[in-house]
Amino acid sequence: MITTKQRSYLKSLAHDLEPTVYIGKAGITENIMQEMDTGFECRELVKVKIQDGCDWKPKEAANEVAQKLNAEFVQAIGKKFTLYRESKDHKQIVLPRK
């Protein structure tokens, strides 16, 4: 569980990120889950955009994916949301202390 200070720090890092994963009409598929898992290992912070044809709401999708991939919800704005999970092998982000 991340603190509000850590969440705020992650939001500042996510501000300039472009979405790397897109959820379309098919919803949250196995391929999307694998892509996000790879993104967490490479970058630790993943921004996702929900496209127009998708029925998922950003917070619902974020919570579903976060639970399945053991990630932390950072923020949801409009049709985009951001998740964080510490990488085992490629740690890049140093969070502020708790």
Can you give the pLDDT at residue 61?
A: 93
Domains and CATH numbers, the chain: 4-84 (3.30.110.60)
Single out the residue of 30, 28, 37, 85 nearest to residue 57, CA to CA.
28
In this prediction, residue 18 has a pLDDT band, given cuts at 50, 70 and 90, of: very high
* pTM reported for the whole predicted model: 0.93
Per residue in 36-68, pLDDT (tens digit) is 999 999 999 999 999 998 999 999 999 999 999
Percent of the chain scoring above 90 in pLDDT? 84
Which residues fall within 8 angstroms of residue 19, CB to CB, at 6 or more apart?
Answer: 47, 48, 49, 80
